[in-house]
């Protein structure tokens, strides 16, 4: 899995990575991780090749949030194609991310 944007502020929500993406094509979910009283929050984008349904991604985030005494709200999701950058072996690539869903256009972020 690919993780980044982990905070260092000391907030218990920083124990969960903002972005957790496998390499490949899979389902992702956009979520808001928050304090139960709403006093602090951050967005999460998680996805996994092992998730058959978006709910499986959400359930993994919810379990991790509960261990920290936090809550998570699902905001949306879709399908994502994630190709991490590679270096070495004569096949360097910049990688990329493609986001799509049923009834939507396709957006590429490089």
Catalytic residue set: 54
Residue 69 contacts residue 11 (beta carbons within 8 Å): no
């Amino acid at each position: 899995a690919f993780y980044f944007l982990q905070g260092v502020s000391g907030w218990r929500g920083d124990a969960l990575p903002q972005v957790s993406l496998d390499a490949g094509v899979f389902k992702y979910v956009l979520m808001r991780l928050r304090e139960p009283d709403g006093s602090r929050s951050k967005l999460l984008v998680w996805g996994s090749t092992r998730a058959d349904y978006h709910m499986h991604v959400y359930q993994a985030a919810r379990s991790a949030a509960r261990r920290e005494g936090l809550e998570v709200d699902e905001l949306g999701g879709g399908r994502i194609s994630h190709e991490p950058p590679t270096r070495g072996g004569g096949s360097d690539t910049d990688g990329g991310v493609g986001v799509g869903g049923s009834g939507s256009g396709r957006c590429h972020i490089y």
